[in-house]
C-alpha cells in the first residue's frame, strides 16, 4: 500500500500535472484546490501521510487551510512551497518532500535499530 499525499494547488490541473510528472513514485496522489475539497479529502481519506501546498494560493487562503488541516488532522505534516522558485519549482519541491519524508522511512527505521 502506497503512502497518500494530498496536493493542494490554486488550479485543479496543476495538481494533476504534478501527479502525472511524478507517477514513477510509489505514491497515491490526491488533489484539492479549495476549502471544500480539502475538507472532503481529509474526511474521506484517513491514510493521508502529508499535505503539500503550492504557492499560488493567496496567503489568507493558505492560512485558513493550514488551520483546517491542523485541526482535522494534527498527525499530518503540512509542507508549504516557497514563492521564489515559481511554478517550475513545484514538481522538484514535491519530489524532494516525498523522497525525504515518505519514501526513505524504511531506511530511517533501519538506521534507528
CATH number of residue 71's parent domain? 3.40.50.2300
Asked whether residue 59 carries a pLDDT value surpassing 90, the answer given is: yes
Predicted TM-score (pTM) of the model is 0.89
Which range marks the domain in which residue 68 is found? 4-112
Confidence (pLDDT) at 9: 92
Query: What are the pLDDT digits (tens) for 14-46?
Result: 788 998 999 999 999 999 999 999 999 999 999
Q: How many domains does the chain have?
A: 1
58-86 in b/e form (b: 16+ CB < 10 A) is: eeeebeebeeebeeebeeeebebbeeeee
Average pLDDT, whole number, for the chain?
Answer: 90
Look at residues 103, 89, 96, 97 and name the one whose alpha carbon lies nearest to residue 14. Answer: 89
Contact of 56 with 34, CB cutoff 8 Å: no
Confidence (pLDDT) at 106: 54
Amino acid at each position: 500500500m502506497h503512502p497518500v499525499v494530498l496536493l493542494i494547488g490554486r488550479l485543479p490541473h496543476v495538481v494533476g500535472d504534478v501527479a502525472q510528472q511524478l507517477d514513477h513514485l510509489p505514491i497515491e496522489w490526491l488533489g484539492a484546490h479549495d476549502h471544500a475539497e480539502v475538507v472532503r479529502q481529509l474526511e474521506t481519506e484517513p491514510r493521508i501521510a502529508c499535505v503539500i501546498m503550492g504557492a499560488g494560493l493567496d496567503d489568507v487562503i493558505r492560512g485558513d487551510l493550514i488551520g483546517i488541516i491542523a485541526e482535522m488532522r494534527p498527525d499530518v505534516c503540512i509542507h508549504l512551497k516557497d514563492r521564489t522558485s515559481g511554478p517550475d519549482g513545484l514538481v522538484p519541491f514535491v519530489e524532494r518532500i516525498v523522497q525525504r519524508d515518505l519514501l526513505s522511512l524504511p531506511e530511517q527505521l533501519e538506521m534507528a535499530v
